[in-house]
Amino acid sequence: MNKLISRITPGGRFWVISVPYLWLFLFFLAPFAIVLKISFSAAAIAIPPYEPLFQYVEQSLAIALNFGNYIFLSQDSLYFAAYLGSIKIAFFSTLICLALGYPMAYAIARSPREKQLVYLLLVMMPTWTAILIRVYAWMGILSTNGLLNSALMSIGLIDTPMQILNTNTAVYIGVVYAYLPFMVLPLYANLVKHDHTLLEAAMDLGAGKVKAFWKVTVPLSKSGIIAGSMLVFIPVVGEFVIPELLGGPETLMIGKILWQEFFNNRDWPVASALAIIMLAILLIPIILFHYNQSRAMERNA
């Protein structure tokens, strides 16, 4: 009898898997289906502000699929420009972060063990600190009568203050500033595992220091480069806070547009359609990141 009960009732293994699984499924994956659904409905002045997709009309289920939102998005060049602008800013910031972050991670990985933790802490500390505040700190520095302009004028480099705040330059500075630690950390985690004897072997075989670095160290750190780049690129495409606070009228980024459609225009269906297209654009990078991560995790296990 006891055996029968234990066969019918699921065991501990089942619960261990299903609790986090259900939570993530319900609150992370399932909502995308609702976004997709609402992106096909029409906006309405109601609470909630959209028309139902499924309706019982004369005892039969009528599905009012409405492609209007997507057609609307494709006809207004503003949205296309915003997607392009987001991808461009994300791409170049990723490159700048990589160029800055790689030597930083390399230096940390090559320093003595006790110092490594201190450096890591110094790099990580701001990651965990309010992004809002770090972006805000730049507003005071970059504004027309801010510290940077006063400093440049006092040493005579420029005569009149430059407009930096509310331009794309300020957005680049803010993005690189906010996301640099996300590049350094995975690169460090990769570089610290490298076997130095490989480099020595390359040099013994006649490769110069520079050649050994490009032929041995860089290829070996490929998964770190992928992880860092994806950790920067993907969230930056949807970034809202930085373009809102540091960007200006010339800054077209999709996260900001989506926010405006949702909060200012209260057009939930168009905001949903914007999110679905963004998700479609980011799907390949996200899958790439995921495979890279799970490979690294399996090597760990």
Partner 1 sequence: MNTRPTFSVFMLWVGLAFIYIPMIILVIYSFNASRLVTVWGGWSVHWYVGLLDNTQLMSAVKRSLQIAFFTATAAVALGTLAAFVMTRIKRFRGRTLFSGLVTAPLVMPEVITGLSLLLLFVAMAEAVGWPAERGMMTIWIAHTTFATSYVAIVVSGRLGELDQSIEEAAMDLGSPPWKTFLLITVPMIAPSIAAGWLLAFTLSLDDLVLASFVSGPGATTLPMEVFSSVRLGVKPEINAIASVILLAVSLFTLLAWFIARSADKRARAPAPDDAAT
As measured in angstroms, the least distance from the Cβ of 46 to partner 1 is 12
Of residues 235-254, those binding partner 1 (CB under 8 A): 235, 237-241, 244-245
Judged by CB under 8 A, does residue 84 bind partner 1? no
Of residues 148-187, those binding partner 1 (CB under 8 A): 150, 177, 180-181, 184
Judged by CB under 8 A, does residue 55 bind partner 1? no
Size of the site for partner 1 (CB under 8 A): 94
Judged by CB under 8 A, does residue 124 bind partner 1? yes
Rounded to the nearest 5 percent, the helix, strand and coil shares of the chain are: 75, 5, 25
As measured in angstroms, the least distance from the Cβ of 221 to partner 1 is 13
Of residues 255-284, those binding partner 1 (CB under 8 A): 255, 258-259, 262-263, 268, 271-272, 275, 278-279, 282
Q: Report the chain's terminal Cα–Cα distance, integer Å.
A: 39
Judged by CB under 8 A, does residue 20 bind partner 1? yes
Torsion of CA 31, 32, 37, 42, to 10 degrees: 90
Residues 6+ apart with CB under 8 A from 156: none
CB nearer to partner 1: pick between 14 and 67:
14
Token pair in block for residue 37 = 């659904």
The C-alpha angle 119, 122, 126, rounded to 5 degrees, equals 150
Judged by CB under 8 A, does residue 126 bind partner 1? yes
Given 6, 10, 32, 84, the residue binding partner 1 (CB under 8 A)? 32
DSSP track, 75-97:
H-HHHHHHHHHHHHHHHHHHHHH
- B/e letters for 152-182, b = 16+ CB within 10 Å, e = fewer, are eeeeeeeeeeeebbbbbbbbbbbbbbbbbbb
Please state, in angstroms and rounded to a whole number, the distance separating the CA atoms of residues 135 and 176: 11
As measured in angstroms, the least distance from the Cβ of 135 to partner 1 is 8
Please state, in angstroms and rounded to a whole number, the distance separating the CA atoms of residues 143 and 182: 27
Given 72, 234, 248, 266, the residue binding partner 1 (CB under 8 A)? 234
Of residues 91-120, those binding partner 1 (CB under 8 A): 100-101, 103-104, 106-108, 110-111, 117, 119
Determine the interface stretch with partner 1 among 19-27, 59-67, 75-83, 218-226 (rule: CB under 8 A).
Answer: 19-27
- Report how far Cα 287 is from the mean position of its chain's Cα atoms: 13
Judged by CB under 8 A, does residue 35 bind partner 1? yes
Of residues 191-230, those binding partner 1 (CB under 8 A): 196, 200, 203, 230
CB nearer to partner 1: pick between 165 and 168:
165
Given 6, 74, 265, 294, the residue binding partner 1 (CB under 8 A)? 294
Determine the interface stretch with partner 1 among 61-69, 76-84, 128-136, 218-226 (rule: CB under 8 A).
Answer: 128-136
Residues 6+ apart with CB under 8 A from 217: 106, 191, 194, 199
CA–CA distance from 284 to each of 111, 236, 243, 299 (Å)?
A: 36, 15, 24, 23
Residues 6+ apart with CB under 8 A from 295: 223
CB nearer to partner 1: pick between 28 and 59:
28
